[in-house]
Amino acid sequence: MNFKVPRGTQDILPSETWKWQKVEKLINEVCEMYRYKEIRTPMFEQTELFQRLVGETTDVVQKEMYTFTDRGNRSMTLRPEGTAPVVRSYVEQKMFGYPDQPVKLFYTGPMFRYERQQAGRYRQFVQFGVEAIGSNDPAIDAEVIALALDVYKRAGLTDLKLVINSLGDTECRASHKKALIAHFKPHIEEFCSDCKSRLENNPLRILDCKVDAENLLIASAPSLADYLNDDSAAYFKEVLNYLDDANIDYEVDATLVRGLDYYNHTAFEIMSTSAGFGAITTLCGGGRYNGLAEDIGGPSAPGIGFAMSIERLLLALEAEGKSFDDESALDVYVVTLGDEAKRAGIKLLGQLREAGIRSDTDYLGRKMKAQMKSADRLNAKTVIVIGENEVAENVVMLRNMANRSQEKVATQDLVQKLNGILKV
């Protein structure tokens, strides 16, 4: 039997995990700067939560969920996205009662969608997302967007484009919906079967269809921009003003709708414009979701957030030819010759680690040359060599790999000596 990693998932190996850790560290630091606090919700929820909040007519709910019946005969779903669980928790834990409003949260963790695998699209992927719940201030829309861009910029990305749109409020969406139905209905036979079923219940989705993207009727469809009422238009204008003030470039795209049902007002995506990036260029998507908490029995609490996958962030870095510095090099590799030296070496290793010095040694009983090779491969900054003579004299040979200099150091002075060398 040949076992393989499930389709659409990947093993992230030690040669890669350090990059993930870097991104996660960066995320934590940026969120701290903006006062977003981490929330960790379960990996699965009641299926109904996603049906209700993400929307029955969305691709995510209709085609992409990992749903199973548990032993208690309850329908459960591996979370396909992070907003619904966070809003569930917000309502259940009564976060609307917290003294500091809005509640500003972030999460990082695996999401699951049964999708066709391609570059940048996985069945298990890690999303970082933020949610600011409890404020209707356009300034916080701009803050959330700035935070997302900040993460990318600090990761080293430069080829970025922010695309933004307003989906308006319930009133404008209703009149726009009517116009869309009237526009598509006479020609609906030209569209895919999904779009046919979208026509009556969710015609906005047609604009987002990947199959019919080239149909000219999509380009000529009534634009949401023409259906924004005064309040919605004024809100959108303020968001854009705040972005201007923050020197954030954007492109308004009236056809940007988003794949999930819960959005209203601000909707945005951040794309990679790097030539090296594959077919999928969206790195991050987000928007406002006023009314979501209410949908599950909470108070009326306006919210805004985004989600980005770390997979696509790393792909974008690669496409731009950028990489992080690998700072995980070993400080010390301990080379020993003979049994006595081995014992002394292992003892020393314990002391080094106690002093916070990253160190390792040989566990295969190899010859000196092979041990030195290991030290090189592991990028050790220094090598300590211990033979019988050194044990007898209570010293070690310390080699600085940066300049290949070598000196004899008394064992009791070693930690201090190393700290001096490693600091520079």
Interface size with ligand ATP, residues (CB under 6 A): 20
Interaction between residue 202 and ligand ATP (CB under 6 A):
no
Instruction: Please state the closest distance from residue 382 (CB atom) to ligand ATP, in A.
Output: 41
Interaction between residue 311 and ligand ATP (CB under 6 A):
yes
- Pick 81 or 362: Cβ nearer ligand ATP: 81
When binding is defined by CB under 6 A, the residue of 51, 89, 127, 374 that contacts ligand ATP is 127
What x/- string results for residues 276 through 295 when contact with ligand ATP is judged by CB under 6 A?
----x-xxxx----------
CA distance 154 to 57: 37
- The 3 state secondary structure assigned to the chain is CCCCCCCCCCCCCHHHHHHHHHHHHHHHHHHHHCCCEECCCCCEEEHHHHHHHHCCCCHHHHHHCEEEECCCCCEEEECCCCHHHHHHHHHHCCHHHCCCCCEEEEEEEEEECCCCCECCECCEEEEEEEEEECCCCHHHHHHHHHHHHHHHHHHCCCCEEEEEEECCCHHHHHHHHHHHHHHHHHHHHHCCHHHHHHHHHCHHHHHHCCCCCCCHHHHCCCCHHHHCCHHHHHHHHHHHHHHHHCCCCCEECCCCCCCCCCCEEEEEEEEECCCCCCCCCEEEEEEECCCHHHHCCCCCCCEEEEEEEHHHHHHHHHHCCCCCCCCCCCCEEEEECCHHHHHHHHHHHHHHHHCCCCEEECCCCCCHHHHHHHHHHCCCCEEEEECHHHHHHCEEEEEECCCCEEEEEEHHHHHHHHHHHHHC
Both tokens of 353, joined, read: 């680690």
- Pick 253 or 360: Cβ nearer ligand ATP: 253
- Pick 227 or 263: Cβ nearer ligand ATP: 263
- Pick 107 or 333: Cβ nearer ligand ATP: 107
Site for ligand ATP, residues 75 to 104, rule: CB under 6 A: 81
> Of the ranges 18-26, 100-108, 305-313, 343-351, which one interacts with ligand ATP (CB under 6 A)?
305-313
Instruction: Please state the closest distance from residue 285 (CB atom) to ligand ATP, in A.
Output: 3
Interaction between residue 131 and ligand ATP (CB under 6 A):
no
> Of the ranges 122-130, 237-245, 365-373, 382-390, which one interacts with ligand ATP (CB under 6 A)?
122-130
What x/- string results for residues 252 through 271 when contact with ligand ATP is judged by CB under 6 A?
-------xx-----------
Instruction: Please state the closest distance from residue 150 (CB atom) to ligand ATP, in A.
Output: 16
When binding is defined by CB under 6 A, the residue of 10, 57, 121, 225 that contacts ligand ATP is 121
When binding is defined by CB under 6 A, the residue of 308, 332, 357, 375 that contacts ligand ATP is 308
> Of the ranges 30-38, 181-189, 306-314, 350-358, which one interacts with ligand ATP (CB under 6 A)?
306-314
Instruction: Please state the closest distance from residue 30 (CB atom) to ligand ATP, in A.
Output: 17
CA distance 191 to 181: 13
Instruction: Please state the closest distance from residue 131 (CB atom) to ligand ATP, in A.
Output: 13
Interaction between residue 309 and ligand ATP (CB under 6 A):
yes
Which residues contribute to the site for ligand ATP (CB under 6 A)?
81, 113, 115, 120-122, 125, 127, 259-260, 280, 282-285, 307-309, 311-312
